[in-house]
């Protein structure tokens, strides 16, 4: 009896299990006789024989599964070498798998492309997108980003209120290795020029500590407070990640990604602020893992799009290989299938037009974030 195998790779999101649910529902609808198998902990489950029967889940259990953040099948950051690829392909053969759907980011797409090239054919490899970084090429935006962006937008709206109540300087360091989308997302909720975040430092522009301190001083002088969004991945003028420059020894995972902790960067920024503004209340928080799969902040649009991406991935897998991409035609967002090479191992950065300056998001950029994260007017009170 033939099967379809589904797995999850990379870091979690709040809606990654909606994509899993969508793939299960679509595969079941398309071919009720097909076995629907889940590999635990990504491709590791295939070679270790650690599989679960997703087809056996009731609709009610699937619905609860979809509402739960973080990869329910387990995940991995392993990058298979040629021998591991052969073992995975042999496992897919043994399961009579006609398709392998792998939910993840650009590294996961890269693993699928490796497998597709090495495969003898007769089987499709489909990538279903997820990432809080929003850094997949060919996508308008990526499932998981909106929920993470909502978490960050709500954090900055809260800190704006906090620092209106007790003036000072606040910096939140936000995840984002190469792309600043998540760091810039809270600009969606700026109603007035004086609203936070007042300054945005993304990896797309070189970061200079002296310039940062002068820009903070200017805002602080003007408003009595300054609330700053800074990416974990900000780089100095030589392209070296500031976290790496400050941390000394860098750690990298199997895909060559620098493992950023943010804490070192936060501490260095805190020390620089204390030295420059000895009398001001100055605070640096590193948001860390919180925005990426927070159970209390799951956006409904994000959930719906994640489900649609999973359905489209499984439907596509009956035809051909590729990567599912969310595309926007000017009025609506819908999934499309693009070649794996268009996404695999590539990084989408924020367009240059999204910046009005090295630390300022343009109206075009804000319009993009506002489209994904509409302002909720009920959340804002009159300030007495």
Other beta carbons within 10 angstroms of residue 56's beta carbon come to: 9
Beta carbons of 119 and 91 less than 8 angstroms apart: no
48 binds a copy of itself (CB under 8 A): no
Cα 266 to Cα 31: distance, rounded to the nearest angstrom: 52
Residue of the chain from 217, 285, 334, 356 that contacts a copy of itself (CB under 8 A): 285
**Minimum distance from residue 357 beta carbon to a copy of itself (Å):** 27
> Which CB atom, from 208 or from 270, has the smaller least distance to a copy of itself?
270
The percent helix, strand, coil of the chain (3-state, each to 5) is 45, 20, 40
276 binds a copy of itself (CB under 8 A): no
Task: Specify the stretch interacting with a copy of itself by CB under 8 A; choose among 165-173, 201-209, 214-222, 348-356.
Answer: 165-173
Task: Specify the stretch interacting with a copy of itself by CB under 8 A; choose among 63-71, 90-98, 190-198, 351-359.
Answer: 63-71
Q: Rule CB under 8 A: which of 95-134 touch a copy of itself?
A: none
Other beta carbons within 10 angstroms of residue 79's beta carbon come to: 17
236 assigned to active site = no
Residue of the chain from 97, 157, 280, 326 that contacts a copy of itself (CB under 8 A): 157
Residue of the chain from 115, 155, 230, 234 that contacts a copy of itself (CB under 8 A): 155
Task: Give φ, ψ of 277 to 5 degrees.
Answer: -125, 65
33 binds a copy of itself (CB under 8 A): no
273 binds a copy of itself (CB under 8 A): no
Distance set, CA 71 to CA 16, 75, 91, 127, 298 (Å): 6, 6, 22, 15, 15
Q: Rule CB under 8 A: which of 183-222 touch a copy of itself?
A: none
| Count of positions on this chain that bind a copy of itself (CB under 8 A) | 64
Other beta carbons within 10 angstroms of residue 383's beta carbon come to: 7
The helix or strand, by DSSP H or E, that contains position 3, with its residue range, turns out to be strand 3-8
Residue from 31, 59, 93, 133 carrying the catalytic annotation: 133
* 360-361/355-357 β-pairing: antiparallel
335 binds a copy of itself (CB under 8 A): no
Residue of the chain from 3, 7, 8, 212 that contacts a copy of itself (CB under 8 A): 8
> Quick one: 110 exposed, middle or buried, by C-beta within 10 A (0-12, 13-18, 19+)?
buried
**Minimum distance from residue 303 beta carbon to a copy of itself (Å):** 13
> Which CB atom, from 236 or from 264, has the smaller least distance to a copy of itself?
264
The helix or strand, by DSSP H or E, that contains position 265, with its residue range, turns out to be helix 263-276
Cα 335 to Cα 142: distance, rounded to the nearest angstrom: 10
Task: Specify the stretch interacting with a copy of itself by CB under 8 A; choose among 61-69, 122-130, 203-211, 349-357.
Answer: 61-69
Beta carbons of 172 and 230 less than 8 angstroms apart: yes
144 binds a copy of itself (CB under 8 A): no
Q: Which sign does the torsion angle of CA 64, 44, 258, 309 carry?
A: negative
Cα 350 to Cα 342: distance, rounded to the nearest angstrom: 17
Residue of the chain from 96, 211, 289, 367 that contacts a copy of itself (CB under 8 A): 289
Cα 121 to Cα 119: distance, rounded to the nearest angstrom: 5
263 binds a copy of itself (CB under 8 A): yes
71 binds a copy of itself (CB under 8 A): yes
Cα 339 to Cα 137: distance, rounded to the nearest angstrom: 11
> Which CB atom, from 90 or from 379, has the smaller least distance to a copy of itself?
379
159 binds a copy of itself (CB under 8 A): yes
295 binds a copy of itself (CB under 8 A): yes
Written as six digits, the tokens of 237 are 């003028």
Residue of the chain from 25, 27, 34, 72 that contacts a copy of itself (CB under 8 A): 72
Other beta carbons within 10 angstroms of residue 292's beta carbon come to: 23
Residue of the chain from 5, 7, 12, 343 that contacts a copy of itself (CB under 8 A): 12
Q: Which sign does the torsion angle of CA 146, 150, 153, 155 carry?
A: negative
165 binds a copy of itself (CB under 8 A): yes
* Residues engaged in binding a copy of itself (CB under 8 A): 8, 11-12, 17, 38, 41, 52, 54, 57, 61, 64-77, 150-151, 154-155, 157-159, 161-162, 164-166, 170, 261, 263-264, 266-267, 270, 283-290, 292-297, 378-384
Catalogue the active-site residues: 133
């Amino acid at each position: 009896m033939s099967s379809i195998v589904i797995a999850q790779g990379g870091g979690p999101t709040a809606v990654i299990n909606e994509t899993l649910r969508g793939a299960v529902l679509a595969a079941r609808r398309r071919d009720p006789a097909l076995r629907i198998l889940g590999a635990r902990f990504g491709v590791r489950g295939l070679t270790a024989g650690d599989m679960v029967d997703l087809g056996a889940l009731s609709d009610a259990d699937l619905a609860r599964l979809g509402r739960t953040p973080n990869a329910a099948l387990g995940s991995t950051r392993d990058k298979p070498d040629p021998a591991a690829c052969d073992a995975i392909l042999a496992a897919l053969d043994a399961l009579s798998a006609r398709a392998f759907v792998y939910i993840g980011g650009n590294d996961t797409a890269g693993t699928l492309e490796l497998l597709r090239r090495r495969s003898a054919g007769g089987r499709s490899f489909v990538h279903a997108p997820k990432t809080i970084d929003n850094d997949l090429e060919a996508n308008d935006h990526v499932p998981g980003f909106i929920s993470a962006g909502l978490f960050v937008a709500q954090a900055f709206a809260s800190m704006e209120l906090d620092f209106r109540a007790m003036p000072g300087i606040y910096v939140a360091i936000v995840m984002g290795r190469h792309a600043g989308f998540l760091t810039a997302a809270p600009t969606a909720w700026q109603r007035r020029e004086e609203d936070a975040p007042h300054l945005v430092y993304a990896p797309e522009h070189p970061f200079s500590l002296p310039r940062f301190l002068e820009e903070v001083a200017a805002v602080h002088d003007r408003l009595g407070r300054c609330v700053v969004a800074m990416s974990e991945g900000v780089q100095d003028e030589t392209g070296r990640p500031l976290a790496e420059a400050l941390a000394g020894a860098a750690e990298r995972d199997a895909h060559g990604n620098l493992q950023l902790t943010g804490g070192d960067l936060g501490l260095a920024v805190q020390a620089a602020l204390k030295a420059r503004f000895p009398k001001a209340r100055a605070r640096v928080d590193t948001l860390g893992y919180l925005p990426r799969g927070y159970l209390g902040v799951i956006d409904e649009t994000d959930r719906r799009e994640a489900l649609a991406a999973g359905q489209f991935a499984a439907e596509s897998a009956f035809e051909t290989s590729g990567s599912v991409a969310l595309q926007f035609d000017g009025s609506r967002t819908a999934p499309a299938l693009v070649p794996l090479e268009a996404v695999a191992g590539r990084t989408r950065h924020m367009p240059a037009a999204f910046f009005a300056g090295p630390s300022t998001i343009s109206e075009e950029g804000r319009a993009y974030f506002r489209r994904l994260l509409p302002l909720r007017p009920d959340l804002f009170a009159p300030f007495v």
